Structure 1
Amino acid sequence: MTTTQKVRAAVQLGPGKLEFRSFDRPRTGADDALVRIEANGLCGSDLETFHGRVPMRGGYPVIPGHEPLGVVEEIGEKAAARWGVQVGDRIAVEVLVPCRACARCLSGGYMSCRNRTVTHGYTPVSREPSLFGGLAEYLYVHPDAVVHKVSSALPAEVAVMYNPLGAAVRWTAHLGGVQLGDTVLILGAGQRGILAAAAAKAAGAARVIVTGLARDTHKLGLAREFGADHTLVVDGADAQNTVDLVTELTDGELADVTLEMTPMAAQPLDDALRATRHGGRIVVAGLKGGRPIPLDSDQVVNKALTLVGAYGVDSRGYAEAIRLLESGRFPFARLHTHTFELGETERALATLAGEIAGEEAVHVAVTPGGGG
């Protein structure tokens, strides 16, 4: 398609530096597609990369946004047949674009693909056609991208939770291996922590315990709505000791599976080691910004613990999360607190970070068309 239409996008120039630019609308062919963005979700990693605490892997300038949801506006015949979608379908687009040809891709390990050249939200605008981030009016969908069809019946602010819920499902059920009757400890009450409570219950957990900070009181309340049986505050005047409380709640049995999901904090990893039972599993998902974190390896050895690193979400996690969203089993709309127009991206990030007085944010989305 030939057109002179311009596409507006947020462009990050460096840590804390954002501007808005117009790009040429990409031409599409038989093998690719163009998606009109309905919403792009924001999460803690967006805050870390925006402020430079975690490096922008591909460099600058870049269009951020790794949780894009949109409607197919153009698609080639080959792409439509390969992805099973048509013009007008709503799709979620995975973060990673694998090569689909290397040994790792062909053996099912596409998340470890060393040949990928596109990562949504992290690919510099110098790579044509530039529109590889969700904080834009349109997203170019590379022929090798992985996409998932999502019901148009869901509100966009709920449908766009496919990414954090996908992480919660993968980290809890697939990497954590939660089974019927398990006790699950979730360290951190952010979006993924709250949704992990739902994922744990969906996997059959009998007891779910979620920790958070004093400023997270509203999030801990939501965690209970999403399946948490117990919540505890780990700082401030009313601080509770995580290990002591888990020991008490389980009559000394401790947690079968622990998810460490706190950003930039060292203590929760030690809590995870001490609050997980002999032979239990710990899924480590909280980024620490490259800082060295002490690890009591004697705990790992003497308790025969399994530690698993949680890198992103795979296709199975996304697919199961989308089915769970479409089921309506949990009050997902309750998690969404703020919607901002594309031009308000910096305010959206500040709101998610808790920097706007009087705003208690949990799930925040940016849309090209309107805010709320």
Structure 2
Amino acid sequence: MSIMKAMRLEAVGSIVLREAGKPSPGPNDLLVRIEACGVCGTDRHLFHGEFPCKPPVTPGHEFSGIVEAMGGAVSGYSIGDRVTGDPNIACGRCPHCRAGRVNLCSNLSAIGIHRDGGFADYVLLPQQQAFLLPSDLKPTHGAFCEPLGCCLHGVDLAEIKPGASVVVLGGGVIGLLTVQLAKLAGARTIILSTRQASRRALAEELGATATVDPGAGDVIEAVAGPSGLVPGGVDVVFECAGVRDTVEQSMRLTRAGGTVIIVGVTPQGMKAAFEPFDLLFRELRVRGSFLNPYTHGRAAQLIATGAIEIDKLISRQVTLEEAAAVIANPPAPGEVKVLVVPQRR
């Protein structure tokens, strides 16, 4: 049996590098040699037991790589193809799937959460979850398709109109990708709120028309107050930080009749306060945006064409040996996206 290395989440709070058998593709599987796999906030939630999963498992759901082998029933792919994988496998049979809401599948199985993922030398990818990438694409760029697909779903739900005003709460990779998508959607005013100066500067490079430091004063007043950037509030707020403060701020930053999209993943069990009267009286539309239903292919196309700036979002690249420490610790100051690149060891 061929041996590979894989980062194993063996239990809550325990993640270690192990040797494991290199998987063999089933009839409908691609065996993908991982070129890059992004470390996501969800991976840290898994480590701390704040997001449901089934350890022992190899995490890593933001991956791309090269097809090295394939099952006999696979068609449309060749050895050597560069692919990205949509990690969220819907059953296709439950009421949600039959209604086209595959992200709400009652039997959802996610690569890197319920089955082995991309923090390894190789991953098995069902052919229906694979999307081709150009052979000349930078190997690191394909790992951004999954987070971009999640952002695309949120922007779809927001129904941004040309000329709209938008606030993005959170300056991590989800917030910075959402800034770029809001600009592509035609938003005229795009304001990003984050405490970290380096992320505020990067947001302005990527299309934000203004940024706000929540540590320097009242964000509500700075944005929606009488002398704020958009008096009365903005058309759309994207909550991309997944913390109580920004969830609560989101509804107060929105104009009457406006829209709030909750994109950030909060720890399971976290509570936030809001006034139902405010939602009623101002007729706010508050939507959750979960996963990437039917958006992964569009994300791959956007990245393939260079429409989304990727390189500025990559903070550093680490080996599999270094990945456990990255996942077990909070992000470093100013860090946006860390990529695990197995071949670097």
Tell me the TM-score normalised to structure 1 length.
0.86
Residue matched to 1:133: 117
Q: Among 142, 147, 165, which residue is 1:164 paired with?
A: 147
Residue matched to 1:325: 303
Q: Among 111, 117, 122, which residue is 2:103 paired with?
A: 111
1:78-120 CA-to-partner distances (Å, cap 9, x unmatched) read 322xxx322211111112111234443344222222234x311
Tell me, yes or no, if the aligned pair for 1:34 and 1:138 is still in contact at 8 Å: yes
Residue matched to 1:276: 254
Residue matched to 1:26: 23
1:260-297 CA-to-partner distances (Å, cap 9, x unmatched) read 1123x322222211110111110012233112211221
> CA distance change for structure 1 residues 26 and 158 in 2, over 3 Å: closer, same or farther?
closer
Shift of 1:245: 1.8
Aligned pairs for 1:88-237 within 5 A: 88-116=80-108, 118-123=109-114, 132-142=116-126, 145-172=128-155, 174-213=156-195, 216-235=196-215
The higher relative CO (CA closer than 8 Å, separation ≥ 6) is in 2
Residue matched to 1:368: 342
Shift of 1:62: 1.2
Question: Sequence identity of aligned pairs in percent?
Answer: 27
1:61-83 CA-to-partner distances (Å, cap 9, x unmatched) read 11111112111111234322xxx
1:34-76 CA-to-partner distances (Å, cap 9, x unmatched) read 1111110112121222233x13x23321111111211111123
Find the aligned partners of 2:330 and 2:317 in 1 and give their Cα distance: 11
Amino acid at match of 1:195: L
Find the aligned partners of 2:45 and 2:129 in 1 and give their Cα distance: 25
Tell me, yes or no, if the aligned pair for 1:225 and 1:331 is still in contact at 8 Å: no
Find the aligned partners of 1:87 and 1:311 in 2 and give their Cα distance: 33
Shift of 1:249: 4.5
Amino acid at match of 2:118: G
Shift of 1:25: 2.3
Amino acid at match of 2:87: V
Residue matched to 1:85: 77
Instruction: Give the 3-state SS of the residue equivalent to 1:269 in structure 2.
Output: helix
> CA distance change for structure 1 residues 274 and 29 in 2, over 3 Å: closer, same or farther?
closer
Gaps of 5+ in 1: 125-131
Amino acid at match of 1:370: R
Tell me, yes or no, if the aligned pair for 1:351 and 1:361 is still in contact at 8 Å: no
1:202-228 CA-to-partner distances (Å, cap 9, x unmatched) read 011001000001xx1111111111110
RMSD between aligned residues: 2.0
Find the aligned partners of 1:111 and 1:329 in 2 and give their Cα distance: 25
Gaps of 5+ in 2: none
Tell me the TM-score normalised to structure 2 length.
0.93
Instruction: Give the 3-state SS of the residue equivalent to 2:171 in structure 1.
Output: coil
Tell me, yes or no, if the aligned pair for 2:220 and 2:253 is still in contact at 8 Å: yes
Instruction: Give the 3-state SS of the residue equivalent to 2:166 in structure 1.
Output: strand
Tell me, yes or no, if the aligned pair for 1:158 and 1:336 is still in contact at 8 Å: no
> CA distance change for structure 1 residues 229 and 7 in 2, over 3 Å: closer, same or farther?
same
Amino acid at match of 1:5: S
Instruction: Give the 3-state SS of the residue equivalent to 2:344 in structure 1.
Output: coil
Tell me, yes or no, if the aligned pair for 2:103 and 2:293 is still in contact at 8 Å: yes
